[in-house]
Structure 1
Amino acid sequence: MTQRTKLTTPTIHSASVGKRMIQGAAIALILIALFLLPVSEPDPAWGKLWMIKPLLIVPVAGAIGGAIYYLLDHLRYQGGWKKTLAYPLSLIGYIIVLWLGTVLGLNGTLWN
């Protein structure tokens, strides 16, 4: 009987899920901030702190989009047509989640 040592499986992820979620949230935060900052005279019915809702919800949606990118890593490392399919799926998933987060965040203010 032989003794086995170092039985580890190599990881396929180049970065952790937390790192991908932070990257997705940062991109979303920058995009929503660029969208909100030009508003100089908001509607008084929105309240004084109307920007807080979109500045919280949209980055959370971006973090979910980053998690989608992370979950599709296994396709990217298989190569071939799967790798070609994984990048557009990741991008489409991120855009859809970001769009839904933007609509939810701006609901009742800039999104009527």
Structure 2
Amino acid sequence: MTQVSSRAADLDIARAVEHYRDQADPETASRFIDAIELAVRRLADFPASGSATAEARTGIPGLRVLGAVGFPFLLFYTCDDDAIRVHRVLHERRDIDAEFQPWI
């Protein structure tokens, strides 16, 4: 299954990598990238493995959420017959409702 990430998701990941590189070390930043890649591969194999609570919370049809193992980040995604679309990758303490307000 094809995996597509939005510009916003790419920026979210880049900011997190920069934060880990600056505040921790390059090894932690690398492990974060590995965790995100692992989560996306998991979604490609098991698209429904994320929780549907994101749809209920935001009202965005089909929006699901999956955590990145070992890091406090959540991948918000939708899936259809041909692709997994990662829309945002947000720290779990972010105001999720505010982040998705422009979509609603």
TM bin (shorter chain)? 0.3 to 0.5
Q: TM-score, normalised by structure 1?
A: 0.36
Determine which structure has the larger strand proportion and give its number: 2
Q: TM-score, normalised by structure 2?
A: 0.38
Determine which structure has the larger helix proportion and give its number: 1
Q: Which has the larger radius of gyration?
A: 1
- Greater relative CO (CA pairs within 8 A, separation 6+): 1
